[in-house]
Amino acid sequence: KKEDLLQELKTIANLEKENSIKHMSIDGREIAISLLKNIYDVYGINISFSLDGEIQNVNDPFGNPIYQNDEKMLKMEFQVIHLAVVLCINLILFGLSILISRKAKCQ
């Protein structure tokens, strides 16, 4: 099965006249990515690609990550300004609730 998949991948590369997945047409890229996933699946390795053909992550048969592309991963950054805005809004709402409750007690 592996040899057949490799032969199909070679045929796609010859038809596209490109060895790089990034430079293939969209249809050729999709077929090549599907074939590569099937080839890696023969060995039990799970691989995922981005839309432009770059490898995003590779997992072994047990699901443990072997490789992850850090450039495309969404990184969470601590935003001090956003935290300050949320805290200010919460303090304003808390202060308003205290004012409203005091006015309700006075009446």
pLDDT digits (tens, 9 = 90+) for 14-72: 888 877 877 888 888 888 888 889 988 988 899 988 877 888 889 998 888 888 887 65
- pLDDT at position 103 is 86
CA 94 to chain CA centroid, nearest Å? 38
* Per-residue pLDDT band at 105 (split at 50, 70, 90): confident
User: Is 103 found in the same domain as 86?
Assistant: yes
User: Is 29 found in the same domain as 12?
Assistant: yes
User: Is 64 found in the same domain as 44?
Assistant: yes
Q: Give 72 or 91, the one with higher predicted confidence.
A: 91
What is the radius of gyration, based on Cα positions, of the chain? 27
Amino acid 8 reads E
Question: Cβ-count burial of 18 within 10 angstroms (0-12 exposed, 13-18 middle, 19+ buried)?
Answer: middle
User: Is 63 found in the same domain as 17?
Assistant: yes
Amino acid 83 reads L
Output the CA angle 57-61-62, nearest 5 degrees.
Answer: 95
Q: What is the count of structural domains for the chain? A: 2
Provide the whole-model pTM.
0.58
User: Is 83 found in the same domain as 61?
Assistant: no
